[in-house]
Copies of this chain bind each other. A is one copy, B any other.
Amino acid sequence: MRIKVINPNTTAGMTAKIGEAARAIAAPGTEILAVNPASGPVSIEGHYDEAISVLGVLDEIRKGEAEGCDGYVIACFGDPGLLAAREVATGPVVGIAEAAMHAASFISTGFSVVTTLTRTCVIAEHLVERYGMVHACRKVRGTDIPVLELEETGDVTFQTVVAECRRAVAEDRCGAIVLGCAGMADLVARVQDEIGVPVIDGVAAAVVQVEGLVRLGLGTSKHGDLAWPLPKTYTGDLARFTPTRR
């Protein structure tokens, strides 16, 4: 099975880290393609960064179809371009936010999300609503760690994340923590050791989810709004995104 894990930002170091996390959990026989777009923001920390990054995500999905990918992971906690990606994918496409939240709901009756910048909390909160997780998500908490600082190896970032997780456990009556950034994928085990409740990394959760769907023979439904895009002209620079008839 071939799964493409798409880091929507263009920071290769983060892509490598994400790829490592994906491969560490992937089943024997699963090939992980960890990629990032050639162009776009180096990190995603707002609606605008996210909107621009969607182009790269869709490009990677389109290429993935040609490469015979069986499924896709969108490895940014805002799940950018998720429904659009599903329209152009044969196999399943899963975002790390949705995978993490769903996993958390299976092992606890309430979880909190610990993410990076406070200004992005609202993005996670909108997903909580969209995915029907209002009953299960106790709180979304920002740490105000810039995404790219997660790429540095010092201990400060780790301690900041741990401290916020402890606050979540103490104040939110939560049974599990979801780490709200793909760049935290390497922290998950250590954070869990520190705080003693299950901690969930969306990258690993999404890889496992996609593998499962592929094994179940479940691709994206091509009946209704996720069917292939209607054939039509795309003009100008974006012509290369023209959907092709299938």
Contact = CB atoms under 8 A, between A and B. Distances in A.
Nearest to A80: B51
Count copies of this chain in the complex: 6
Contacts of A118: 173
Contact of A119 (B37, B43, B84, B227): B227
Interface string A34-46: 0001111111011
A13 interface: no
Contacts of A102: 102
B218 A27 contact: no
Interface residues of A, number: 94
A86 interface: yes
A10 B173 contact: no
Given A46-B84, A47-B84, A176-B223, 20 more contacts: A25-B216, A37-B236, A40-B236, A41-B235, A41-B238, A43-B232, A46-B87, A47-B225, A49-B243, A54-B54, A105-B132, A107-B226, A108-B220, A109-B224, A110-B224, A122-B173, A129-B135, A131-B132, A132-B133, A175-B223
